Structure 1
Amino acid sequence: MPLPSPSPVGSLLWRSLRVYQVYGANTDVGKTIFSTLLCKAATRFWDNEQTAFLKPVSTGSLDEADDRHVQRFAPEVTNKTLFQYDLAVSPHTAALASKGLIPPDETLLAEISKFASRRASLGHGWLFVETAGGVHSPGPSGSTQAELYMPLRLPVILIGDAKLGGISQTISAFESLKIRGYDVETVLLFREDMYQNHLYLTDYFRDQHGIPVKTAPEPPTRDGIISQDVQNMLWYYETTSSSTTTQSILSHLAAKHSKRIERLESMRTTAHRTIWYPFTQQKNLSATNITVIDSARGDHFQTFTTDLPPSAPLLQPTFDASASWWTQGLGHGSPSLALAAAYAAGRYGHVMFAEAIHEPALALAENLLAGMANPRLTRVFYSDNGSTGAEVAVKMALRAARVRYGWGAEEEVGVLGLRGSYHGDTIGAMDCSEPCVFNEKVEWYEGRGFWFEYPTVMCREGRWVVEIPGEIGLRGGSGGHKVTFASLGHIFSMKERESSGEGAVYERYILDTLERLHREGRKFGALILEPVVLGAGGMLLVDPLFQRALVNAVRRSSHLFGQEGHRGPKEVGDSTATWAGLPVVFDEVFTGIYRLGRFSAASFLDVDADISVHAKLLTGGLVPLCATLASESVFEAFASDDKSDALLHGHSYTAHAVGCQVALESLRQMKEMDAHGEWAWAKTSSQMNEVAPKPSSAMTSKSCIWSVWGPDFVNWVSQRTAGAVGGVWALGTVLAIHMETKDGFAGYKSNAAKDIQALLTRGAVADVEGDGAGWNVHSRVLGNVLYVMAGHKTKEKSIRQLESVLRQALSEREHQ
């Protein structure tokens, strides 16, 4: 299956070519001299291999250019500069002065990749890629080099600073690289008699990081006579490149290269016999089907592969289409999130949280409460993942209901929810879901509740359809049926649909059901919903009007939950902290924090929860953390002079300072992206907003329905109904394609989406000269549902490329 080009640039790793990136702790520390030494030594000690030098960006006069230096003193070495600027200033300043020659980061990386690919195709050899200035010197676009070159994931040779202040500069440069995921393989610097920085740095890097430090004598000083200066440098390079020290540097680098590949080659087999994988029937898993991820950056993993042409890299970009199980939002390897984590780790590590407070936890609680804009919510309880956060929420709700309605401890109390909903894998969270494939063989599972049938939304053959099940229709007196809408925006127009009476059939079904359950003597302590979309239950888009009707009906029905004639102190419409009917829990672990285009998925329903659960995107995809938000009246249900009446729930890592600090940074970035119109391209191209004003770049996500997936593409997918696609929907960053089932199974047990998943995984070599391996897509399926998620920083170009790949895969499947 051919893939669209240009391909994303991946890590540069070949068996035949040892590629190292030379960074400097500062400018004028000897990067080019050490690069020349290594090049000459490589040609001397590996005389049957080829050596090359690449300078991606160079500034200053041609006579003083680094590639000219290498050419003069190591003429046997192939060398090239990609972008040369005349001004001897920072590359970004020189690029601006060049009046137009400012290559985008992607172009610069692609040119490096092409050059390296051509070198790898020639056979075994070395390639040294030298940066300009210091670690954080800007590239032509203004991106600092440490971040610009991250996608290449080249192992680093760090040239230390031997001058006054050089110890601090070298360590700072190392930490900047380390925090961005670079492997610094060795530190090199000159032996300088006055400051002797090498003595301190040798001990520091050996003892603290296990990294060898090697030195070379200082080059001869210039005496102003060009011919003599050249002769002195020729002698310097000849003697120093042939030294045992220089040879040991190359031997060390060659060994590291080999060990890296050997480890990657063995990881599948070792993992297959060592790891117990989640959601995997390992009896059917072979080692060859395990994805080896070497690194990740932005939207892509770098995955190890051996079934590509010899000239292709061993690592290829793989789009993370599951957003790493729904967590990734700000891109893999985000330096800003890494810095936030490092700050909190350095300041706090982890500190216990019972009856204590630290700034990250308090600031995050304030931020979440403000962002939710829910007047009911006043309290924040921290846990470590969505499943435990859901359990906390249910504990809160059940206690509040028991206290209000005076139930005894021996009375069985359940929850109300939706069929197919799922709230986590811990035992308590499992009990909030009806029997299903996830819990039916769990020994302690007891489904504790009642789960409503509900209408779903899908785009079929170009039309947005609400499918109302027969059970709802029969109770409404009209039978199951479908209602077609002009756009998804019309489906989400709650007040307009209510005023036209569309919700009446839902309300009758809900109230009839609640009254029947009351007559049966059943007791319920909470309504728990995944707003708008049921995630693990099959990526089902629920008619938002039904969920709104369900919340409102429950809040009006206190007499159906408490003792006969009992009504809650306040009813629906009251937006204070007091709940009515039952505490309403919104599980926004999947749907919240801009996943569907808004900070809170509850805003789609225009109702406020009494308890709200948030995880996954909360930390932008870096560390685990969950926050359960609750109203004051729910909180007060635990107030007592008896300690055993407290919410006795907690974790050793409750309110982990690192997670809280990362979450603060994640929320800050997403809110700024929303406010500054970062998603305007998606909002303006969407055709879902026909009932609202045309979106503008200033329009925030609170005021429109939008998707990164193009309406033409969604329409095209919806037309693939010839035994292939049953329906499709797209909202925010999520695309869900429901395949027709032919294997006799429905839902999670179906394999109907497996062949599409395989086509996306297969990949191919990109049809671009010297571009090496192409890219593929790593996806997950939920039975017959293939879903694809973008990150919040995914660019429009990447989305269109993904759409092209999906078109090709669906077309190929259609013609099989």
Structure 2
Amino acid sequence: MRTTITTTTKTMPATAITSSVLRRSLRAYQVYGANTGVGKTVMSTILCGALHRAFPHERVWYLKPVSTGPQEDADDGHLARFSPRTSSKTLVQYGQPVSPHIAARTAAPLTDSAIREQIQRHVTECAEDGQGTLLLETAGGVHSPTPSGSSQADLYRPLRLPVLLVGDHRLGGISSSISAFESLHIRGYDLNTVLVFEDAQYENHLYLRDYFAERDIPLLSLPPPPPQSSTTESDRERMAEYYEEMSARPCVLDTVTALSTSHTLRLARLDTMAPQAHKHIWYPFTQHSPMTPASIMTIDSAHGDFFQTYCPSSSSEIKSSSPPPPENTLQSTLDGSASWWTQGLGHANPTLSLAAAHAAGRYGHVMFASAIHEPALSLAELLLKHLGNQRMQRVFYSDNGSTGVEVGVKMALTAASERYGYGDRMKEVGVLGLKGSYHGDTIGAMDCSEPSTYNKRVHWYQGRGHWFDYPQVKMKDGTWVVEPPEGQEEEFGPVARFTSLDEVFDVEARDSSAAAATYKKHILSILDRLVREEGKSFGALIMEPVMLGAGGMLLVDPLFQRTLISTIRASHSLFSPTPSPEDANTWIGLPVVFDEVFTGLNRLGPFSPSTLLGAQPDISVHAKLLTGGLVPLAATVASEAIYDAFLGSEKSDALLHGHSYTAHAVGCKVAETSVKELLKLQESGAWDGFQEPWNEARGVVDSRKDSKVAGRVWSMWSPTFLSTVSHRAEVESVVALGSVLAIKLRDENPGYESNSAIGLQSALSCVDGGFGIHSRVLGNVFYVMTGQTTEVDVVRRVEQKVLEAL
């Protein structure tokens, strides 16, 4: 077996950052085949000849990334023979005529990212050589394996090249051609043109022409190449004549001209998207007065942890805020906010995309009232099983986190009102919560938060409740501290220092501490004043467990939240003169609602943040990572005791809440798939590389053999990095847990309206080291969030960029 591998993996970074391929001077297309033996190389040779005719002063390149079989039969050699003006190249040639994943077994390992990196390098070289067209031909069919064993449809997807699909002209070719198109379409490929040979017996080209015409995709059909003769020399002469004739056909010349036009139109559309958006789009959480088209990021596609963002040319009316890589019109930009905290399994995850397609094809959307479908039931069973909360028995579906919280609050207030007779009083029932909390922008969810920038101009807003202040966990100058609220040292005690984050979260050991007694005393005094002295009524305790997101990535002392829950549950007599229920699974005191929209589903490490508190809610709300960022869906999970409060003889006794798309089958199927993928990551040791530095800091050699470290806190951000950042003069403090990193910068006027983090945000957006970082800021708090599938090397590179920017 002869193997030629031009990829040099030793000099590459551990993780190559893939950019989509779009160059102004280079028109690049990817040739896929509906099957093996459909004539991809013949069609490529015809197109190359036509390109030389249509654009005589331009270059033409042919690239075969992976090929198998003898070197003398390689496809680039065929191009060199019959289209000598074309610059042809093969990156990887395995001598054995078998599938690449089999041929690769006896060669050096070759990753998908290594192949993409070589393609990008070759594209750069071609673009530097001048104006022209590049055809990149794949191997076999759409899903033929790569050397690593993945599908080549997934290997090449990040490059975002428009596709020329060579259909199958043989018996059964209609089915394979349409199947190939659908596989590419589901993965976000743009199918530019279909090419197929004519066959008088099967006439596949006629059927496919009509099929693709309905989808506005042109089809070019051509006579097949001449049959083989008795001699090689004769075959070559006949093929040369065939290529000469086909490449000169007007329909073929029209096709390559149309390819050039489509490339120009794509660039033109990208050029105008930001100005058009500036005219017509009203953005969320955005002050539009200072906004210009240049400040709007145009996203051409997304894959994994990265957006592929457009870099306008220097002649464009829009000026890029950061210089693009040489000659490239698209740049890789890290999705540093995880697209508003929804991403965990990566953009364009094919597993989630296929789950969505399956549910869309099977159900679309179906009515859910008094009905059931498999995705909704399977998801409910999966959540109830893995939340590990024996109280929970019921799942209610809604559209997003805010509506999920609104449902949960309705549940809690009704349950409390039924038990305590609040419904008979013409009196407002409020909630207890935490300062700085944010539960969404629907009116009910908004009313569960104290007055703030988010709601002060909403005319219907009425803060309905009381919000406790609390100590926060921070790292300062390399030391983890629990810091009391500003000016409340006498109430909460001085700053407490801890040897590790583990010690902070060892809440069972801290239950007997002086801090726990102080917290309990403080909570009881406030409750007594609110209920007994002021006569207020409360129907729920609602909180974001462990970390408050929109409030500024505030890491609450877990002992305070744990004590708040246990104190309210132990204060049943404060809310009702009747004895507390004896059932251990029912709620007492007040129903406890956990808003896990941001913090749940492995965002902070464990599947549920309740694990970190050692306390379980009566109601919990799940969204964002629930569907891996693909579609909106929320699940509000409740105990049987909460559910029982809505049973009665009248319809008005029921929970009269719903949405047109309640339990959307597509959303439920995607969520079920997403949760299973997260559980698989959790159980497979996929995060061991991130946990290792934390275990080393603990002095643990092998965490898998040491049960004492099971469930301990950790972060994807390394302890050394956190300590280094916390020592910087401009940094007030830093926190990190799971995939979340938050850096609080010093500011005399801190808060949501502060601008102190914008400089760091802007510095990180510049393309350096292969990619920029798109991020959001919360006043003087800069935060970055990885996904649950982000690789260690990417995080370490982000850490380095943050240190350089600071």
Q: Report TM bin, short chain.
A: over 0.9
C-alpha separation in 1, matches of 2:309 and 2:50: 32
Shift in alpha-carbon separation, 1:727–1:694, aligned structure 2, 3 A? farther
2:790 pairs with one of 788, 791, 794: 794
2:131 pairs with one of 110, 116, 124: 124
1:492 pairs with one of 492, 505, 527: 505
Deviations 1:244-294 (A, max 9, x none): 111111122111111110000000000011110000001121110000000
Code of the aligned partner of 1:265: D
Asked if the contact 1:16/1:125 (under 8 Å) is kept, the reply is: yes
C-alpha separation in 1, matches of 2:636 and 2:487: 34
Asked if the contact 1:431/1:446 (under 8 Å) is kept, the reply is: yes
**Is 1:530 the equivalent of 2:544?**
yes
C-alpha separation in 1, matches of 2:453 and 2:129: 53
Asked if the contact 2:24/2:327 (under 8 Å) is kept, the reply is: no
Report the CA distance between 1:345 and its aligned residue. Answer: 0.3
Shift in alpha-carbon separation, 1:694–1:532, aligned structure 2, 3 A? farther
1:781 pairs with one of 777, 784, 788: 777
Asked if the contact 1:320/1:779 (under 8 Å) is kept, the reply is: yes
C-alpha separation in 2, matches of 1:493 and 1:181: 46
Structure 2 residue aligned with 1:220: 226
User: Which aligned pairs between 1:268-307 and structure 2 lie closer than 5 A?
Assistant: 268-306=274-312, 307=320
C-alpha separation in 1, matches of 2:643 and 2:580: 17
Report the CA distance between 1:800 and its aligned residue. Answer: 0.8
Asked if the contact 1:456/1:542 (under 8 Å) is kept, the reply is: yes
Structure 2 residue aligned with 1:566: 578
Code of the aligned partner of 2:605: G
CA RMSD of aligned residues (A): 1.8
User: Which aligned pairs between 1:185-196 and structure 2 lie closer than 5 A?
Assistant: 185-196=192-203
Deviations 1:334-381 (A, max 9, x none): 000000000000000000111110010011011101111101111000
C-alpha separation in 2, matches of 1:115 and 1:418: 55
2:570 pairs with one of 530, 536, 556: 556
Deviations 1:789-816 (A, max 9, x none): 1111101111111111111111xxxxxx
User: Which aligned pairs between 1:90-109 and structure 2 lie closer than 5 A?
Assistant: 90-98=99-107, 100=108, 102-109=109-116
- Percent sequence identity is 53
Code of the aligned partner of 1:803: E
Report the CA distance between 1:645 and its aligned residue. Answer: 1.5
Moved over 6 A (4+): 3-6, 697-702
Structure 1 residue aligned with 2:736: 730
Structure 1 residue aligned with 2:651: 643
Deviations 1:453-493 (A, max 9, x none): 100000010000000226764346xxx42000000011000
Shift in alpha-carbon separation, 1:587–1:394, aligned structure 2, 3 A? same
C-alpha separation in 2, matches of 1:85 and 1:46: 34
Code of the aligned partner of 1:509: H
SS of the residue aligned with 1:237?
helix
Instruction: Give unmatched runs, 5+ long, in structure 2.
Output: 1-11, 313-319
Asked if the contact 1:384/1:654 (under 8 Å) is kept, the reply is: yes
Code of the aligned partner of 1:64: D
Code of the aligned partner of 2:558: P
Structure 2 residue aligned with 1:248: 254
**Is 1:469 the equivalent of 2:469?**
no
Structure 2 residue aligned with 1:586: 594
Code of the aligned partner of 1:438: Y
Structure 2 residue aligned with 1:435: 451
Structure 1 residue aligned with 2:437: 421
Structure 1 residue aligned with 2:3: none
Shift in alpha-carbon separation, 1:45–1:700, aligned structure 2, 3 A? farther
Structure 2 residue aligned with 1:85: 94
Report the CA distance between 1:110 and its aligned residue. Answer: 0.7
C-alpha separation in 2, matches of 1:534 and 1:432: 14
Asked if the contact 1:489/1:690 (under 8 Å) is kept, the reply is: no
Code of the aligned partner of 2:754: S
Code of the aligned partner of 1:359: E
Structure 2 residue aligned with 1:389: 404
Asked if the contact 1:603/1:702 (under 8 Å) is kept, the reply is: no
2:173 pairs with one of 142, 152, 166: 166
Code of the aligned partner of 2:777: V
Structure 2 residue aligned with 1:24: 33
Report the CA distance between 1:694 and its aligned residue. Answer: 5.7
Asked if the contact 1:674/1:700 (under 8 Å) is kept, the reply is: no
Code of the aligned partner of 1:85: Y
Structure 2 residue aligned with 1:543: 557
Report the CA distance between 1:640 and its aligned residue. Answer: 0.9
Shift in alpha-carbon separation, 1:585–1:692, aligned structure 2, 3 A? farther
SS of the residue aligned with 1:282?
coil
Shift in alpha-carbon separation, 1:433–1:197, aligned structure 2, 3 A? same
Asked if the contact 1:375/1:575 (under 8 Å) is kept, the reply is: no
C-alpha separation in 1, matches of 2:709 and 2:122: 43
Report the CA distance between 1:783 and its aligned residue. Answer: 0.5
C-alpha separation in 2, matches of 1:692 and 1:665: 34
Shift in alpha-carbon separation, 1:73–1:694, aligned structure 2, 3 A? closer
Structure 2 residue aligned with 1:342: 357
Please give the TM-score of this superposition, normalised by the length of structure 1: 0.94
Code of the aligned partner of 1:754: I
Report the CA distance between 1:312 and its aligned residue. Answer: 2.2
SS of the residue aligned with 2:164?
strand
User: Which aligned pairs between 1:305-704 and structure 2 lie closer than 5 A?
Assistant: 305-306=311-312, 307=320, 308=323, 311-407=326-422, 408=424, 410-469=426-485, 473-475=489-491, 480-518=493-531, 519-562=533-576, 565-570=577-582, 575-576=584-585, 578-687=586-695, 690=698, 695-696=703-704, 703-704=711-712
Asked if the contact 2:703/2:709 (under 8 Å) is kept, the reply is: no
Deviations 1:618-653 (A, max 9, x none): 001100000000111111111111111211100000
**Is 1:757 the equivalent of 2:757?**
no
C-alpha separation in 2, matches of 1:224 and 1:43: 31
Asked if the contact 1:683/1:696 (under 8 Å) is kept, the reply is: no
Code of the aligned partner of 1:549: T
Instruction: Give unmatched runs, 5+ long, in structure 1.
Output: 767-773, 811-816
Report the CA distance between 1:695 and its aligned residue. Answer: 2.4
Deviations 1:172-218 (A, max 9, x none): 111110000000111101001111100111111111x2111111110
Report the CA distance between 1:4 and its aligned residue. Answer: 9.0
Code of the aligned partner of 1:726: E
C-alpha separation in 2, matches of 1:397 and 1:755: 43
C-alpha separation in 2, matches of 1:311 and 1:321: 24
**Is 1:239 the equivalent of 2:254?**
no
Code of the aligned partner of 2:617: A
**Is 1:156 the equivalent of 2:138?**
no
Deviations 1:626-685 (A, max 9, x none): 000011111111111111121110000000000000011001111011111111111122
Report the CA distance between 1:691 and its aligned residue. Answer: 9.9
- In the alignment of these two chains, the number of paired residues is 784
Deviations 1:539-574 (A, max 9, x none): 000000000000000001112223xx334324xxx6
Report the CA distance between 1:707 and its aligned residue. Answer: 0.8
Shift in alpha-carbon separation, 1:148–1:575, aligned structure 2, 3 A? farther
Asked if the contact 2:324/2:330 (under 8 Å) is kept, the reply is: no
Q: Which has the higher contact order (CA 8 A, sep 6+)?
A: 1
Code of the aligned partner of 1:738: K
